[in-house]
Structure 1
Amino acid sequence: MKKHLFLLLTIGSFLSSLQVIRAQTNEIETEIIDSVYSEVLKESREFWVKYPDNYNPDGTEKYPVVYLLDGFSLKENLEAVYDNYWGHYLPHMILVGVSNRTNRVRDLTTSQIKMRRGQAMDQDTGGAENFTQFIEKELIPYIDSKYPATSYRTLIGHSYAGLFTVHMLVNHQHLFQNYIAIDPSLDWDDQKLLMEAKEKLSSESYKGKSLFVSLAAEQLHMWDEDITMENIMDDSSEFTLFARSIIDFSTFAESQKQSGLNFSWKVYPEDLHGTVPLPTMRDGLVFLFKWYQFKSPQKYNNPETTVEELVELLKEQEQIYTQHFGVPTAPMIDEMLNGYGYMNMQMGQPEKAFMFFEMNIKYNPTSANTYDSMAEYYESQNDKENALKYLNQAYEISGDDYYKERIEALNKE
């Protein structure tokens, strides 16, 4: 490992350090602007793709995917949340930001209307089903064929895109496991989708699906400051219909335990419609991946925890991940396995260090860094023969002169 992790005593500081300390210089292009021509929409649709930090083009690992609607305008929000929370809270994932800069209202609204809030609509509306066909028949297959993606998908949408997100859950739940509807426009067309959603949530199964909904409540009424969360449902004016629709949907969804939907919602009293995406993405993703978080995290840092206990904890974690993702999945991302190995080396617990390094090689056999770390372990044990063995494997995989230089230096000792 080219850069050492310092001794870390808590899981929090450990994860914080992981996000700024990288084992190897990564010269791979990790962010791509791509596009696909849609026969459904009769136009080319642009999107961006961001690989996770541990992406190895020569590896075989595949990743869950987050699809973000209005992807270019909300890009920084998603990246800020993801970059700060991957590791303990979120898995490595591929992020996809889909452009809705053209024909946004047409693509994201769920029915055709001529008037909205007392004014004539001068844009095409009601194209959500068409846009759904684009996502299902063209975009997802393209992503799945070109990028290392699994079928575990999350959809995030704000405002009209939040309306579309609820539409996708209610009418096309097979496409995504997770949904985040940010301040969704559920007032659309006299709450037509809201009524449909209520009917389906009360009669259909949504087991295995998760939804997080947010409401920006800094301005519940456009001009009446006396409208609050406590009395808004008593108001019947057009000015509060947007917020009332979200509250109505959320309280109903919360009550439908028999639907099997994993549901949560949150009111943001100090946020406006334009500022609520950032905190919603943070809270929503943490909620959706609550199952991903470590069980008994303190035991990983406790010097008194035995190797056998750690192995059992990791087995349990692996079972949870594999069950949710539907494919065999390592119990920790590679950076964490490596980091815990170094942490235990510095804490004078070589048996634990070896276990973490060995497990990292098992799950990441094409990563030169995993072999380099095992070589450092053997160097710490004054085992030159095995250190050279693993350094040679790292060099064979990568061809990096760094490993060649380390081999030559170790041979001179």
Structure 2
Amino acid sequence: MKKSLFLILISFFTSISFGQVKYETFRSIKLDQNRDLKIQLPRNYEKNEDKTYPVIIVLDGDHLFEPVAGNVDYFSYWEDMPESIVVGVLQRKTREDDCRYDLASYLPEGKGAEFFEFIGQELLPYINETYRTAQLKMIVGHDYTSNFINYFLFKENPIFQAYINLSPELTPPMEERVFNVLSSAKSDVWYYLATATNDAENIKKNLIAVDEKLSTIENPEVNYFFDNFDESSHYTLVGRAIPKALETIFEMYRPISKKTYKEDILTLETSLYDYLVDVYNTTEKLYGFKRQIRVNDFIAVSTAIEKKELWEELEPLGKLAIKEHPETMLGYYYLGLGYEQLGEPKKAMRAYENGFLLNEIAFLTKDYMLEKVNKIKEDFGY
């Protein structure tokens, strides 16, 4: 009896530790039929009443929902992406009709056009009205449905900002259409494309050619990623592509990596301070909530500032660090270092002294700050 009770309790706590999965039936006027949905809400969704969440629409929800929802739950648990609402659309019996297109225009027709309107005019508005959603919307598809998700790119104001294309079986003009839309995009777009060495030969060959074309796009608003997975098939690539897509799309959400530092920050020709502020402003706009700037990110940017000797940028960086981490000596250290390098020793000494009174952090200790103060006093006779 005790063992049975223990197993029941374990099952209960296990079930509530993961994202909440709901099964809903949605009555569509556009399709004139019921559609089954799987919806995973973030952990503690009910408790975080003021928090909003990005939305990920998953076509082929019969087999794609679980790998997407599982990866989203795992990534967000480790804070590698924001917690998100995942909505799976089940299509096992309707897939071919849902994605039907005209053989002349290669645009949705009949049931395909109705399904397109169902997603944009019924499903997404319902999710927005029912749940607390942020601006960022993403859509995922595989082969036939992956071709379909690209139609949402062609709207004047696309309802999705991120597209995960898993081995899409593209219509003949799709390559050129996607290229033209991405080339002229005026707002942020994340576009992920994947194939594999053991993918269907016609799909693989076509997608490699598509990548060659899309790789030439120089639009700063477009974040394009491509993977050709070694030794994976048309179906097994899904398990590798989903985490890779989430990792690349949400790179801006994670702490600044060594790769980002070397390839993006050190090569930046504009303000490093503005870069840091813009990253967090953009993520706040997309994800719907304000995040404290990580100490790791302050250190990455300040290291680049020192390396490039852009000393005038340390003052605004220091003031920002004081605002974000007021209990630590980080901001006052940046102020002191900046003033010191710009030839203002008195202001530098005061900044170091103010920092000495606060909490140690990262590489900064009270002994180190005192050493900086004493060195200035010794050099200038204060």
TM value normalised by structure 2:
0.61
1:317 deviates by 7.0
State the AA in 2 paired with 1:74. L
Counterparts of 1:14-25 in structure 2 under 5 Å? none
The count of residues paired between Structure 1 and Structure 2 equals 267
Classify the secondary structure of the residue corresponding to 1:90. Answer: coil
Partner of 2:250: 289
Residues 330 and 244 of structure 1: CA distance in aligned 2, closer, same or farther (over 3 Å):
same
Deviations 1:227-284 (A, max 9, x none): xxxxxxxxxxxxx3x2222122222111121373210101012111111111111111
Partner of 2:99: 108
Partner of 2:88: 97
Residues 206 and 279 of structure 1: CA distance in aligned 2, closer, same or farther (over 3 Å):
farther
Q: Is contact 2:20-2:42 (8 Å) kept?
A: yes
- Please point out which of 142, 145, 163 is paired with 1:161: 145
1:197 aligns with 2:158: no
1:269 aligns with 2:192: no
State the AA in 2 paired with 1:208. D
Q: Is contact 1:35-1:45 (8 Å) kept?
A: yes
Q: Is contact 1:109-1:160 (8 Å) kept?
A: no
State the AA in 2 paired with 1:102. K
Q: Is contact 1:207-1:260 (8 Å) kept?
A: yes
Partner of 1:322: 284
State the AA in 2 paired with 1:35. T
Partner of 1:228: none
RMSD: 3.5
Moved more, 77-86 or 208-217: 77-86
Classify the secondary structure of the residue corresponding to 1:133. Answer: helix
State the AA in 1 paired with 2:211. S
Higher relative contact order (CA 8 A, sep 6+): 1
TM value normalised by structure 1:
0.57
1:215 aligns with 2:176: no
Partner of 1:141: 125
State the AA in 1 paired with 2:102. S
- Please point out which of 167, 171, 175 is paired with 1:183: 167
State the AA in 1 paired with 2:221. G
Q: Is contact 2:65-2:87 (8 Å) kept?
A: no
Following TM superposition, the consecutive aligned residue runs of length 4 or more in structure 1 with deviations greater than 6 angstroms are 314-317, 352-356
1:254 aligns with 2:244: no
State the AA in 2 paired with 1:319. N
Residues 196 and 319 of structure 1: CA distance in aligned 2, closer, same or farther (over 3 Å):
closer
State the AA in 1 paired with 2:193. V
Q: Is contact 2:182-2:217 (8 Å) kept?
A: yes
Separation in structure 2 between the aligned mates of residue 353 and residue 255 of structure 1, nearest angstrom: 41
Separation in structure 1 between the aligned mates of residue 112 and residue 98 of structure 2, nearest angstrom: 5
Structure 2 stretches lacking a partner, 5+ long: 1-12, 259-275, 295-323, 329-382
1:205 deviates by 1.9
Structure 1 stretches lacking a partner, 5+ long: 1-22, 114-123, 222-239, 298-313, 334-351, 357-413
Identity of aligned residues (%): 21
Q: Is contact 2:229-2:237 (8 Å) kept?
A: yes
Classify the secondary structure of the residue corresponding to 1:76. Answer: helix
Separation in structure 2 between the aligned mates of residue 146 and residue 45 of structure 1, nearest angstrom: 17
State the AA in 2 paired with 1:138. E
Partner of 2:62: 72
